[in-house]
Structure 1
Amino acid sequence: MSSPRTPPTPVDRELMRGAGPTAILKLLERNEMYGYELVEAIDTRTDGILAMGQSTLYPLLYNLEAKGFVISRWNEEGARPRKYYRLTPAGRKRLAADSLQWRAVTQAMGSLGVVSACA
């Protein structure tokens, strides 16, 4: 009989500052998304560990847009207008660099015994 799984703990605010932008860039890597869609995807795909509300998401998106990593467009079709975000070439480069850094940090923390080795 397996033991019940411990519910995930949301990431601390300080850790989210680093993880949040990379998570957003990764989700936008394949297709554009609007804000609420990003909130739901992050929550679902990370089992709630990187869950963030719109009040956290939108400042991150605005910052990524100001840095030229994402661009946005309004879509007025449907019941309500939605602002869609997509990755720019600079955003793809940033995502690649961030991914390398996250791998290095994960490996280093694993060497210290903080996290187990990832597949």
Structure 2
Amino acid sequence: MANSKRDLFLKRRMRVRNKLKKRNTGVMRLSVHRSSKNISVQLIDDVNGVTVASASSLEKDLGVVGKNNVEAAAKVGTAIAERAKKAGVEDCYFDRGGFLFHGKVKALADAAREGGLKF
């Protein structure tokens, strides 16, 4: 039976997330979502089930509305690093979901690291 692209993506996402959760208990999760038009990231506290900080390319103050490229991803990464510092978070683990660590996802991660997040 052939699996659809969506099914394979969901399996990959859960495989990545479950492996990360086993290793990083009690640490916040930096979760990335990339669509064809936007990129967004959330800093999630899984113990309490709350989102501590978030950033998206849809925010007008970042100046990248409607753009989904490497530069926009880098700005979103810088913004989440600033907001995480404001919330008092320095350590987290990077949940890339089912997306490959390449291009926009990598640019976001590198910008967040440069901004002071450790993962």
Q: Could you state the TM-score of these two structures normalised by the residue count of structure 2? A: 0.26
* Greater Cα radius of gyration, structure 1 or 2: 1
Larger relative contact order (CA 8 Å, sep ≥ 6): 2
Whose strand proportion is higher, 1 or 2?
Answer: 2
